[in-house]
Structure 1
Amino acid sequence: MSAALDLAGRLRVRPGAPLAQALHSSRRDWAGRLGQGQPATALPGLLASLFNLCSHAHRLCAQLAIAAARPGAMAMPGDAAQRLRQETAQEHVRRIGLDWPRLLGPADGHAQGAALQALQTCPLLRPAAKGDEPWPQALDWLQRECLHMPATTWLRAWQACGADWLLDWGTRHGGWLPALVRGAREADSGRALDMARALRAHGQDDQLRTLAAALALKPGFAMQPLWHGACAHTGPWARLHSADDGLPLTPWALLGSRLAELVRLCLPDGPGQGAGWLRHGALHTADGQGLAWVEMARGLLVHQVELEPDVPVVRACRVLAPTEWNFHPAGEVARRISALDATLPAGLRTGQLNLLMAAFDPCVPFEVDAAPAVEGEVAHA
């Protein structure tokens, strides 16, 4: 295991084990340890390096939190909506093109090869000249290489029919992505998410202040968060725009939710699409303290920053990432891992686990612990 992976941490899972043993995370609160004492101007870059898989969102969120903590301590980014749009779309493209073929595709590697070939032509992944507008080309690429049909037609059908449309689309078309999605259907549990547990704490200032108080006053909250005393889940299905709320979202249908978000991001700017889709914000929550949030590829990201009274130096830094919500040891994914049927054929059980990981998308690697559960053992999460 490399030093980089040691620093990032990883997930260890035991399919079918009791809940207390089903999921263990070795992630650590490096932001709190390394951020303290840093100059405020250095913190965004530090957090972007520390969370390099989602570096764009962490940099922006840290900038917003510092600016909220003390006006003037950090210049507000002027193009935040467009930056968030482009870099979230890029992350969706990478995960769909790199992780989905690996997790969901056949062992012959055909899907991985086809996906890599498609990624090589994606305009969003090529260096762009300053002021260049990538979206018309990105939309054309998405329609040609992934959807095999007009994006607006695909999105309307998804919004109307959800998983029924996803299966119909996957069956009608023979490209690498429809084939991947169609092939993963067998591994679906069929049990939909409880959308009452979708995390939307960023919708009201009083909710954000409650979250800020929990981060500041409850030790360990950032690593094992609860919302109103219960585990919550977050992802493209839990946006403030909440376009997918009326759809039954099983783990397999969450693939459709992620693909639908990529479509929305590639469409021209407007209400609920383009740069108007993702939301971000910040709030001054106490003297020298600011809370910021961004809707990013994996869900809701929150940063809290406290500055020293007289100098622009970080007194405390707390990062609450989507992985800690979705992969809480008693959370949505852990419960589903625990419920996996140990009597199923190994291939199907592996497919169910891989589908969960593709659907909820942790920002760290995972490994399967095949050791049998030990009575009385407690997971150290």
Structure 2
Amino acid sequence: MNTIPDVAGRLRVRPGAPLAQALQSSRRDWAGRLGQGQPATALPGLLAGLFNLCSHAHRLCAQLAINAAQPDAGPAPDNVPQRLRHETAQEHVRRIGLDWPRLLGPANGDAQGAALRALQACPLLRPAAHGDDPWPAALDWLQRECLQMPAATWLRAWQACGADWLLDWSTRHDGWLPALVRGAREADSGRGLDMGLALRVHGRDDNLRTLAAALALKPGFALQPLWHGACAHTGPWARLHSTDDGLPLTPWAQLGSRLAELVRLCLPDGPAQGGGWLRHGALHTAEGQGLAWVEMARGLLVHQVELEPDVPVVRACRVLAPTEWNFHPAGEVAHRISALDNTLPPALRTRQLNLLMAAFDPCVPFEVEAAPAVNGEVTHA
């Protein structure tokens, strides 16, 4: 988590409130303000520090955008598929091992202790010697500490049965992760995602050029983006290689989608697994302007960079992060927060909200406030 909350921003949520009041964000466009006037070679490090929870993806995306804007303005990143694979898998491991027990686990802390012990044994979170291949050990760790079964078998069952398999697996095994997933099911809303709103703008160059124009010409677009006039959502279920479109993805099933992506990343390289799973790209969109995108842990990340014509200095920098899509004030999560039933027991409502946050995974903290009184009722914190 960012150590400077005022810079990182945060989300304020009001379960059961009208849509206009259900979700508000204090996120600011610091990338645009701080990036302008910086040497192009300094921008990737600046953005990595500014967005330090996802620093690897921001550094990489900025490098790709600069290189697309002006190839000689900075070094082109190398070994992108494997870098993206390794760092995205690391982020999934951290979120599953740190956030899920805190948000979804019992109050006694048993799940947090077991998850922490598993994280301490994870090869992906240890410094690796140059040239070492961490993936055989990572796959063994995933099968032993998390899945308690062969990863390829788990993935085939998920692809065939989705949430039904997630329930079957979590019921049959007693490890910390199956127990955590099993215990969270009670809080599921039962309403699946509209996959027609899954963000896959990066699949076509003409869509990317449209997005580039919106970023450059529409003030505030990076903080409240729309695609074809609608609020889109993004995550592991919205990859270009995605196989989850036919699965009904409720918030609880989205946990399975995130776990399935970690499995795919740990499997050996192939067309839709290992280093072949996540996609990335860049496009020269105008003179001195480049747009780049990477599929990272929370969804699709987009950077746009404009450079001065004569010197490699940043004229404009725009960052469009997954949190701005998923946590748009009129978006998917906002609608679900507004629909939470305030007549339910507070503990169950809190579990529903926590499951929603674990499913969509904001990159900033969130605070819960009571919904405003309606028709003279008095609210209680």
Q: 1:16 to 1:371 in 2, by over 3 A?
A: closer
- Is contact 1:293–1:302 with CA below 8 Å preserved after alignment? yes
Matches within 5 A, 1:130-149: 130-149=130-149
Tell me what 1:118 maps to. Answer: 118
Tell me what 1:278 maps to. Answer: 278
What is the CA deviation profile of residues 276-326 of structure 1, one whole-angstrom value per residue up to 9, with x for unaligned ones? 000000000000000000000000000000000100000000000000000
What is the CA deviation profile of residues 323-345 of structure 1, one whole-angstrom value per residue up to 9, with x for unaligned ones? 00000000000000000001001
Matches within 5 A, 1:117-196: 117-196=117-196
Q: 1:213 is matched by which residue type in structure 2?
A: A
Tell me what 2:266 maps to. Answer: 266
Q: Percent identity?
A: 87
- Unmatched segments (≥5 aa) in structure 2: 376-381
Query: Which TM-score applies when normalising by structure 2?
Result: 0.97
1:209 deviates by: 0.2
Matches within 5 A, 1:1-381: 4-373=4-373
Tell me the SS of whatever aligns to 2:12: strand
**Distance (whole Å) between structure 1 residues aligned to residue 156 and residue 51 of structure 2:** 35
What is the CA deviation profile of residues 61-86 of structure 1, one whole-angstrom value per residue up to 9, with x for unaligned ones? 00000000011112111111100000
What is the CA deviation profile of residues 194-237 of structure 1, one whole-angstrom value per residue up to 9, with x for unaligned ones? 00000000000000000000000000000000000000000000
What is the CA deviation profile of residues 35-64 of structure 1, one whole-angstrom value per residue up to 9, with x for unaligned ones? 000000000000000000000000000000
Q: 1:171 is matched by which residue type in structure 2?
A: T
**Distance (whole Å) between structure 1 residues aligned to residue 239 and residue 90 of structure 2:** 18
Runs of 4+, deviation exceeding 6 Å: none
**Distance (whole Å) between structure 2 residues aligned to residue 74 and residue 160 of structure 1:** 45
Tell me the SS of whatever aligns to 2:4: helix
- Is contact 1:333–1:356 with CA below 8 Å preserved after alignment? yes
- Is contact 2:269–2:276 with CA below 8 Å preserved after alignment? yes
Q: 2:298 is matched by which residue type in structure 1?
A: R
**Distance (whole Å) between structure 2 residues aligned to residue 371 and residue 276 of structure 1:** 45
Tell me the SS of whatever aligns to 2:72: coil
Q: 2:98 is matched by which residue type in structure 1?
A: L
Tell me the SS of whatever aligns to 1:152: helix
Q: 1:214 is matched by which residue type in structure 2?
A: A
- Is contact 1:170–1:178 with CA below 8 Å preserved after alignment? yes
Tell me what 1:379 maps to. Answer: none
**Distance (whole Å) between structure 2 residues aligned to residue 247 and residue 74 of structure 1:** 42
Q: 1:203 to 1:48 in 2, by over 3 A?
A: same
Tell me the SS of whatever aligns to 1:72: helix
**Distance (whole Å) between structure 2 residues aligned to residue 218 and residue 178 of structure 1:** 45
Name the count of aligned residue pairs: 375
Q: 1:146 is matched by which residue type in structure 2?
A: C
Tell me what 2:378 maps to. Answer: none
Q: 1:72 to 1:333 in 2, by over 3 A?
A: same
What is the CA deviation profile of residues 1-52 of structure 1, one whole-angstrom value per residue up to 9, with x for unaligned ones? x970111000000000000000010000000000000000000000000000
What is the CA deviation profile of residues 162-213 of structure 1, one whole-angstrom value per residue up to 9, with x for unaligned ones? 0000000000000000000000000000000000000000000000000000
**Distance (whole Å) between structure 1 residues aligned to residue 301 and residue 164 of structure 2:** 31
What is the CA deviation profile of residues 237-282 of structure 1, one whole-angstrom value per residue up to 9, with x for unaligned ones? 0000011111110000000000000000000001100000000000
**Distance (whole Å) between structure 1 residues aligned to residue 239 and residue 201 of structure 2:** 10
Query: Which TM-score applies when normalising by structure 1?
Result: 0.97
- Is contact 1:18–1:373 with CA below 8 Å preserved after alignment? no
What is the CA deviation profile of residues 142-179 of structure 1, one whole-angstrom value per residue up to 9, with x for unaligned ones? 00000000000000000000000000000000000000
